[in-house]
Chains A and B, each alone.
Chain A
Amino acid sequence: MKKINSTLLLILMFLGGALIINFVMSGFSVSPGSLLWMKPGRFDGLISPYYYSILIILGINIILSVSLALLNGFTGLFTMGHAGFMAIGAYTSASVVTFLLPNAPFVIQLFCGSLAAGAFSALVGFFIGTSCLRLNGDYLGMVTLGFGEIIRIVLLNIDAVGGARGMTDIPVYMNLGSVFLLTIITILVIKRIRDGRLGRAMLAIKENEMAANMMGINPLSIKVRAFVISSFIAGVAGSFFAHSEGYLSTQTFTFTKSFEVIAMNVVGGLGSLSGAIVGAGILTVLPEGLRKLQDLTGIDIRMIIYALTMVLIMILRPQGLMGNKEWKWLSSK
């Protein structure tokens, strides 16, 4: 009981934080819309739109990274198709909002959109998870990569969502405060899962599947649950992405995107929740910081940095920056 209360308290605290962020960002306006969901008048705020959008991307990347950490880091299922789940979420939510509920109030639109995004993505995750149960290691990675690419190619061929032109005119609802709040909630949810019975079972499977099975854990069921939860969150992240960008193209969701998320996990340290956050932070902020260099050379240097950090970390510090350590507020007591 005490634990639930403390989590609730944390969430309330961050809700307050989100309200304050939006209050400041919107140039001290108190209309209810600008406080939680609507895009505030961000140009009157304290920081430039450029940094504002980087912070939003950072939040979405953290959500993606911790959702992958659940699969890659905790359960030891190496998957390379996370961009596919994100794509499903993004397109589902955008379609629900623009085709099914074009006239509903935005709170309902966003709620239904994100929920449908998560649910549909989780359904696909369930399907992929159950069909891949026999595979391990790099084979699982290859199959999930295949699924991710198939999802993308199918989306590319659906003309209703824009096909190769991309999907435009998606209403923009996300602002810094809401992304911040949802990021924190996601992190806390994943932390609670990790520290609970399910998470213990996942860690046991990662260490030794056979031994876990002997201890009475059903590895198949746990693996499928990991897939479903992870793809649900990735789908929701996709939905947030759709409603913060306002534009979707299948080019965003190639397997390079999956590799980016893997790189975030790897740089921070596979198996560490704090690591996933640190990795997402570094790989989102670093390339933007090096944009000057990119202006100089005229080449998208971001991917070279991803690649180099991945290789160097693997050779010099294979356990990642955080190793197995967690920050205090994320450690399991």
Chain B
Amino acid sequence: MKIAIAVVLCLLLAAPCMAMMPCDTDGNDRLSDGEMVRAIFSYLDVTYRNGTGQAASFADLSDAAYIYHYWDGAPWACTDAEGRTIVFERPLRSVAVMSPQILETMRAIGYPMGSVRGADRSVLMDREFFPDLGECRSIGSLDDPDIDALASVSPDVVFVPAGSTGDLAADAASALGIPVLRFSCASPASVRNDATTFGSLLGRRDGAEELCRFLDEQEGAVAACLDGLPQDQVPAVYVENFSAYIACESGTPAGDLVRLAGGRPVPDGFGLAGVSDEEVTAAAPAVIIKLVGRDPCAFGGIGDHMSIRFIEVRNAIGKRPGWSALPAEKEGRIYLIHAGLFEGPQYVVGLTYLACWLHPDRCAGLDPAAVHEAYLSRFCGLSDVSGIFVYPGDA
């Protein structure tokens, strides 16, 4: 009974979006074969046979064909990562995206970048990674959304990161009456779920399936190498965020990937946590992973060929009080990695690097650089790109 009430409430709360479904002549919110055929013949008659009857416009017929083909002939109810459902009665021809990970996932499943009319400022600053956003306008940032720009772009929907960081941007779009969908595309599980949801909504099911297959293959390769790993061979790993002394524990993308790569994040904790020299030395990590790519370590990635900053940061870690005695420092197992390889669908690249660093003998057959190259060329349309993503360079 409670479930039934919940379902009814959800259906009532689900907001129908955009204009009425085209070519639905009987208004039953379902495009039948007959309605589609009549619309096609009317159009062909007027366009090619000098017919004088009424026909749907090409735009309406295209939308109807899309709904018929991709949405099984009915409005599409999309539920986002925060459990909010929006019912779409037209395909999304124009979108705005406030997260690089969401945009990357959309591109990876084949959504045309020409349909992205607005994007977060940080996305537009990363032209090396997103070179195909020619007509895309900046709509501000998560902290400071540009209301006027958003209103002028007037997208069919705005994609905003799930969680509190996206609240301001989501509220701004909602105030303008623009539908908001919230996803994260951060963890391995959410990337798959979100990609599948995008695939259904954006008419890219095949692309989503191909992406998920690729992720499964790469994760499977790592899992096969770590199969039967004894507990006493699981190394303690200190993962540090961009800022010094901020640890990425379980529940962060980096912390979760360390577990997936056969490691144990230390010190014990959850989320991002401040740590002291004493805490780290007490945890005695066998491996240290340092994230770069954002302030105050905004370097690395596509187009950056200067290793000097990697070396500076690497050496500074070893000079911290008491850290020279750490097993990771003594054995030269301190690695720097661009955070982009831990986020969005690229997490499999980061995972492969981690597995090779944590278990070099078991994972000798893995080639993270090749996985990275394959991902960039197959799912990003980026070939012949170069840059420093990890340090030291060889996994």
A, B in one complex = no
Query: A-side interface residues toward B, CB under 8 Å?
Result: none
Query: B-side interface residues toward A, CB under 8 Å?
Result: none
